[in-house]
Amino acid sequence: MGTGPFMFAHLDRANNYWDANSFVGYWRGWPADWSAYAYASPKGYIDHLTVTWAYSWAATKAAFLNGDVDLFAVPRNYSSEAQNQNGIHCIYPLPNMSVDGLFFNYNIDWPTPLGTVFNYDFLGENGIPRDFFGNVT
């Protein structure tokens, strides 16, 4: 975490969480000068941060509604459910570190260490057909 505003405190793999404390020697000063994003700006700062990863969506939502957690990331497929809860302030969209990918597989004809890749429905002694593991459309 370098010279950031928080210092790693400890990791508990058995209970699935890690925590960090504010770093008073932060090079930009403390409390940290956070910039606003869209219409959301920080109203203060925290001294201690706990992050857990062991909960299902139902358990995370229940913990939030019970006041056991202050904020959480909502999986995309539950975003409409979270936005429709009374008393919950949703800030959307926020930048995140996710990547979506779309990949194509091409039908490449080359010899392999296991033999030749033959045309569909042809099984030979020195190779396999293109649709050996299932019909390719």
Per the structure block, which two tokens stand in for 82? 């979270």
Residues 6+ positions from 81 with CB-CB distance below 8 Å: 61
Q: What is the pLDDT averaged over residues 97-118?
A: 69
* Cβ atoms 32, 45 nearer than 8 A: yes
Position 33 scores a pLDDT of: 61
Q: Tell me the domain boundaries of the chain.
A: 6-83, 104-137
* Beta strands in 1-137, from DSSP E residues, in sequence order: 6-12, 17-22, 48-52, 116-118, 127-129
pTM: 0.48
5 vs 40 pLDDT, higher one: 5
57 vs 43 pLDDT, higher one: 57
CA distances from 72 to 19, 80, 83, 99 (A): 15, 15, 13, 19
Q: Please say if the pLDDT value at position 137 is more than 60.
A: no
Q: Please say if the pLDDT value at position 136 is more than 60.
A: no
17 vs 80 pLDDT, higher one: 17
User: How many separate helices (H) and strands (E) can be counted in the chain?
Assistant: 2, 5
Residues 6+ positions from 71 with CB-CB distance below 8 Å: 64
List, for residues 11-52, the tens digit of each pLDDT value.
Answer: 999 988 899 998 888 877 766 566 666 666 666 778 888 888
Position 1 scores a pLDDT of: 47
Q: Please say if the pLDDT value at position 97 is more than 90.
A: no
Long-range contacts of 23-27 (CB under 8 A, 24+ apart): 27/3
Length of the chain: 137
Confidence of residue 71 (pLDDT cuts 50, 70, 90): confident
